[in-house]
Amino acid sequence: MEVSLRSFCVRTMLVLVVLISVNASEEKDEQKLRLKETQELLSSKNSSMADWYDDAWNEHTMEDPEEVAAMVDECRHGYFHVVNNDYTHWEMYAIGGSADPTINSQGNRYLAPANAFAKEVTKRVETNAGVWKHWNWRSEGDLLLNGAYFTASGAGAAASYARASSLGAKSSSMVGDITSNAGALSCRRGRRC
């Protein structure tokens, strides 16, 4: 049972990496526009921080699947169960959301980058605090390292999180073992992956 669950988790993560890679190319222009707006705002306040954003964007122009997948997970609408993932290379935030998603983060390992401005795991995209404070986002059993922090919100009603649960989370201390064989698939058209 444990082997099949691990296999299921690894396959699920691989599918997510492929989906994120495809989605990332579609969202690149949108992110570039947001990045430009952020740079303009920051350059008027803090030029060294704006320089950091330039460097971060240039790093994402590479075609390395790990870097594409590490850019950002963004949840829109609905219920999301983020379970037993290893977030180690985010640039601005690890999990973003818009349009009132319910996010149940369990048993993940979040290793914040060295950049002091990128320690927060969560980001409510283009929404003010008066709205997102009612969204149900929680962290349960996550390992937060190097100053990483998760901003929880909402009432935390058990029923909403029940809908945002897909499988039982393993301990965050097991994330390294669970994800050790994860990565992009080497697929070719017309052949099995």
Question: Mind listing the pLDDT tens digit for each residue in 74-110?
Answer: 788 888 889 999 998 888 899 999 999 989 999 999 9
Q: Tell me if 73 is assigned to some domain.
A: yes
Nearest to 123 by CA among 89, 160, 155, 150: 150
Domain containing 148: what range?
A: 2-178
pLDDT at residue 193 greater than cutoff 80: no
Q: Tell me if 191 is assigned to some domain.
A: no
Q: Tell me if 165 is assigned to some domain.
A: yes
Measured CA to CA, the distance from residue 187 to residue 193 in angstroms comes to 5
Nearest to 90 by CA among 122, 61, 42: 122
pTM of the model: 0.59
Give the full edge-to-edge strand order of the sheet including 73-76: 73-76, 95-98, 122-124
| Number of domains within the chain | 1
Residue 112's pLDDT is: 96
Residue 14's pLDDT is: 57
Q: Tell me if 190 is assigned to some domain.
A: no
Q: Tell me if 65 is assigned to some domain.
A: yes
Question: Mind listing the pLDDT tens digit for each residue in 134-189?
Answer: 999 999 999 999 999 999 999 876 666 777 777 888 999 999 999 988 888 888 88
Question: Mind listing the pLDDT tens digit for each residue in 13-68?
Answer: 655 555 565 555 555 666 666 666 555 544 444 433 334 444 444 443 444 544 54
